[in-house]
Amino acid sequence: MTEHTPAGLPGTIHHWIGGVAVPSLDGRTFDVADPVSNTPYAQAAAGGPADVDRAVAAARAAFPGWSELTGRERARTLHRIADAVEDRREQLAHFESYDTGLPITQARGQARRAAENFRYFADVVASLGEEAFRQGNEQFSYVVRSAAGVAGLITPWNTPFMLESWKLAPALAAGCTVVLKPAEWTPLSASLWPEILTAAGLPDGAVNIVHGIGEEAGQALVDHPAVPLLSFTGSTTTGRHIAACSARHLKTLSMELGGKSPVVVFADADLDAALDSVVFGVFSLNGERCTAGSRVLVERSRYAEFTRRLAERAGRVRVGPPADPATEVGALVHPEHYARVLGYVDLGKEEARLVAGGTRPAHLAPGNYLQPTVFADTPRDARIFQEEIFGPVVAVAPFDDEAEAVALANATEYGLAAYVWTSDLKRGHRIAHAVESGMVWINSHNVRDLRTPFGGVKASGLGREGGAHSIDFYTEYKTVHVAL
Binding site for ligand NAD (CB under 6 A): 154-158, 163, 181, 183-184, 214-215, 218-219, 222, 233-235, 238, 241-242, 256-259, 290, 388, 390, 416, 456, 461
Phi, psi of 134 (to 5 degrees): -125, 135
Please tell me the distance from the alpha carbon of residue 57 to that of residue 51, in angstroms, as a whole number.
Answer: 10
CB of 257 to ligand NAD, least distance (A): 5
CB of 242 to ligand NAD, least distance (A): 5
Nearer to ligand NAD, 205 or 214 (CB): 214
Nearer to ligand NAD, 157 or 266 (CB): 157
312-328: b (≥16 Cβ within 10 Å) or e: ebbeebebbbbbeeebb
* Active-site residue, from 256, 288, 328, 465: 256
User: Are 392 and 283 in contact, with CB atoms under 8 Å apart?
Assistant: yes
Radius of gyration over alpha carbons of the chain, in Å?
A: 23
CB of 160 to ligand NAD, least distance (A): 9
Nearer to ligand NAD, 239 or 428 (CB): 239
Please tell me the distance from the alpha carbon of residue 166 to that of residue 180, in angstroms, as a whole number.
Answer: 12
Nearer to ligand NAD, 149 or 214 (CB): 214
Please tell me the distance from the alpha carbon of residue 47 to that of residue 210, in angstroms, as a whole number.
Answer: 6
Nearer to ligand NAD, 47 or 398 (CB): 47
Phi, psi of 185 (to 5 degrees): -80, -20
CB of 213 to ligand NAD, least distance (A): 6
CB of 455 to ligand NAD, least distance (A): 7
243-272: b (≥16 Cβ within 10 Å) or e: beebeeeebbbbbbbbbbbbbbbbbebebe
CB of 135 to ligand NAD, least distance (A): 41
CB of 293 to ligand NAD, least distance (A): 13
Q: How many CA atoms lie within 13 A of 389 on its CB side?
A: 34
Nearer to ligand NAD, 200 or 290 (CB): 290
> Closest Cα partner for 331 from 282, 270, 285?
285
CB of 279 to ligand NAD, least distance (A): 19
Nearer to ligand NAD, 99 or 184 (CB): 184
CB of 268 to ligand NAD, least distance (A): 31
* End-to-end Cα spacing for the chain: 72
State how beta strands 150-154 and 132-135 pair.
unpaired
Nearer to ligand NAD, 392 or 461 (CB): 461
Please tell me the distance from the alpha carbon of residue 100 to that of residue 15, in angstroms, as a whole number.
Answer: 20
Hey, what amino acid is at 329?
V
Nearer to ligand NAD, 232 or 303 (CB): 232
Examine the residue annotation and report whether 256 is marked as an active-site residue of this protein.
yes
List the catalytic residues.
Answer: 256
